[in-house]
Amino acid sequence: MVKRPDDLGAFAFVTLARLRVLQLAQGCTPRVPGVHTIAVMAQMEVAAGEVKSEDDLTESLLGAVAP
């Protein structure tokens, strides 16, 4: 079982993992080492912080540009 990060809600965790499963199923390279099913691999990537939501990326980009 993959532990969800404390700062990420359950719905956001599942949603990000599902989107990552679709990417992995299409042949994207996994971002964490190991041999697991694509569902477990996606959860591990989200838990490790290797996969970010679009909101996180937008916030980090805007924060870098803001005065």
Query: In the prediction, which pLDDT does 54 show?
Result: 74
pLDDT in tens, the chain (67 residues): 899 989 888 998 999 999 999 999 999 999 999 999 999 999 999 999 998 877 765 565 555 555 5
Question: What are the DSSP E strand ranges found in 1-67?
Answer: none
pTM of the model: 0.81
* Closest C-alpha among 55, 26, 54 to residue 42: 26
Query: In the prediction, which pLDDT does 17 show?
Result: 93
| Cα–Cα dist 22/62, whole Å | 28
Q: Name the residue with tokens 């989107």.
A: 19
* Closest C-alpha among 21, 45, 24, 22 to residue 33: 45
